[in-house]
Amino acid sequence: MAKTIWASEAVVERIANEAWAEVQLTCPETAAIEDVVTAAIKFFRSPQAIKDSCQIASSLGYRPYGIEYSRASDRPDDMETFSVTAASSTHIFDDPMANDLNRACAGAFAQLERVAETLIVSLARHVTQRSFEQVLTGGLHRWSTLQINYSRPSEVRSSFINEEHEDGHFLTLGYATASGLEVRLPSGDYLAVAPARDCAIAMLGSAAALMTDGRLRPLFHQVRPPTDCQERVSVLFFADLAPDLCRAWIVGDTNRHVDIGGYVRANPVRFGLEG
Measured CA to CA, the distance from residue 240 to residue 205 in angstroms comes to 10
Nearest alpha carbon to residue 180 among 158, 202, 161: 161
Measured CA to CA, the distance from residue 67 to residue 247 in angstroms comes to 31
Q: Quick one: pLDDT at residue 57?
A: 83
Share of the chain above pLDDT 90, in %: 87
Adjacent-strand bridge partners of 112: none
Tens-digit pLDDT profile for residues 101-126: 999 999 999 999 999 999 999 999 99
Q: Quick one: pLDDT at residue 142?
A: 95
CATH dotted code for 9-268: 2.60.120.330
From its phi and psi, is residue 109 left (phi > 0), alpha (psi between -120 and 50) or beta? Answer: alpha
pLDDT at 2 over 50: no
Mean pLDDT rounded to a whole number for the chain: 94
Measured CA to CA, the distance from residue 181 to residue 6 in angstroms comes to 21
What letters, b where the CB count within 10 A reaches 16 and e where it falls short, cover 29-67?
bbebbbbbbebbbebbeeeeebbeebeeeebbbbbeeeb
Adjacent-strand bridge partners of 171: 204, 239
Tens-digit pLDDT profile for residues 168-183: 999 999 999 999 999 9
Nearest alpha carbon to residue 228 among 156, 172, 128: 156
Q: Quick one: pLDDT at residue 195?
A: 77
Tens-digit pLDDT profile for residues 54-111: 999 878 999 999 889 898 888 999 999 999 999 999 999 999 999 999 999 999 999 9
Q: Where are the domains of the chain?
A: 9-268
Residue 1 binned pLDDT confidence (cut-offs 50, 70, 90): very low
Q: Quick one: pLDDT at residue 167?
A: 94
Structural element, H or E, at residue 100: helix 96-128
Measured CA to CA, the distance from residue 71 to residue 223 in angstroms comes to 13
Q: Quick one: pLDDT at residue 275?
A: 56
